């Protein structure tokens, strides 16, 4: 059962959020302050956190920041509940580490859709990060061979010069041929929940393409406009 932690000091809003979530058959954990949220998160390990910005004992943004810096809590998906334009600006500034935001007052339907999307995205991420042992060895895609144990990539037997991040990027795409991966999926899979800008993905993709250019593998990675990237390869 999905469990959602609600961190909101206004009782009416907290109860409304809880009501909306429980109608979806989700379990809810309610906190009226950051202090309470801190205690409950360890006890209940929620699947997702709805976080207000102004709490009686501090700012939701600062708390989120601490959450994302701590290895034991950085993987919790967080949706910020914002009220004003400037709060949205802050949450949109990618440094906040929130997975999404919902503006108050919100429509129940919209809130549920956002929660579902974030949960789905995080499940995908977990899938992407999981590399079964039997597949951990070698990936062969036409001229390209990736040896994960050695962090080695070759094209027609010629080694490519790749950084660890570039190798992991290439490995991620090669593992999912034909599948479009969004920048945030790539970011989550390769960088984990480190606080980095999604543009970092573009920078590394550019370097990776540079490393592949002039080889038989140079056209394997394609940009899917407005969506992300795809490894273009069909099993024969």
Structure tokens at 165: 């991040």
List, in sequence order, every residue forming a beta bridge with 154; answer none if it has no partner: 145, 159
Name the one range near Ca ion by CB under 5 A: 2-10, 16-24, 58-66, 93-101.
2-10
Indicate whether 202 belongs to the interface with Ca ion (CB under 5 A): no
Name the one range near Ca ion by CB under 5 A: 44-52, 112-120, 158-166, 190-198.
44-52
| Residue 133: CB minimum distance to Ca ion, A | 47
Q: Closer to Ca ion at the Cβ: 56 or 226?
A: 56
Q: Closer to Ca ion at the Cβ: 9 or 148?
A: 9
Binding mask 3-32 for Ca ion (x = CB under 5 A): ------x-----------------------
Contact 115, 79 (CB under 8 A): yes
| Residue 39: CB minimum distance to Ca ion, A | 19
Q: Give the chain's count of helices (H) and strands (E).
A: 8, 14
Task: Say what the alpha-carbon torsion angle 156, 159, 165, 170 is, to the nearest 10 degrees.
Answer: 0
Query: Which of 6, 30, 52, 115 touches Ca ion (CB under 5 A)?
Result: 52
**Whole-angstrom distance, CA of residue 186 vs CA of residue 125:** 8
Tokens 């980095």 belong to which residue?
196
How many chain residues bind Ca ion (CB under 5 A)? 3
Indicate whether 75 belongs to the interface with Ca ion (CB under 5 A): no
Query: Which of 16, 33, 35, 54 touches Ca ion (CB under 5 A)?
Result: 54
Q: Is 213 exposed, middle or buried (0-12, 13-18, 19+ CB in 10 A)?
A: exposed
Which H, E and C letters describe 117-128, residue by residue?
A: HHHHHHHHHHHH
Residues that bind Ca ion (CB under 5 A): 9, 52, 54
């Amino acid at each position: 059962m999905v469990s959602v932690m609600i961190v909101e000091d206004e009782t009416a809003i907290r109860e409304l959020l809880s009501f909306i979530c429980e109608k979806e058959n989700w379990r809810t954990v309610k906190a009226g302050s950051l202090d309470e949220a801190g205690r409950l998160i360890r006890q209940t390990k929620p699947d997702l956190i709805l976080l207000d910005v102004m709490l009686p004992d501090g700012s939701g943004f600062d708390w989120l920041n601490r959450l994302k810096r701590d290895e034991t809590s950085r993987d919790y998906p967080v949706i910020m509940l914002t009220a004003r334009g400037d709060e949205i600006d802050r949450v949109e500034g990618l440094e906040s580490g929130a997975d999404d935001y919902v503006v108050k007052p919100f429509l129940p339907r919209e809130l549920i859709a956002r929660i579902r999307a974030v949960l789905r995205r995080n499940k995908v991420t977990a899938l992407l990060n999981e590399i079964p042992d039997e597949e951990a060895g070698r990936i062969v895609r036409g001229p390209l061979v990736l040896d994960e144990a050695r962090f080695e990539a070759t094209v027609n037997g010629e080694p490519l010069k790749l950084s660890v991040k570039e190798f992991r990027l290439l490995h991620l795409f090669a593992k999912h041929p034909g599948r479009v991966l969004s920048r945030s999926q790539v970011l989550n899979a390769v960088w984990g929940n480190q606080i980095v800008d999604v543009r970092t993905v573009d920078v590394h993709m550019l370097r990776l393409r540079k490393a592949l250019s002039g080889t038989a593998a140079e056209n394997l990675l394609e940009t899917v406009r407005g969506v992300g990237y795809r490894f273009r390869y069909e099993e024969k």
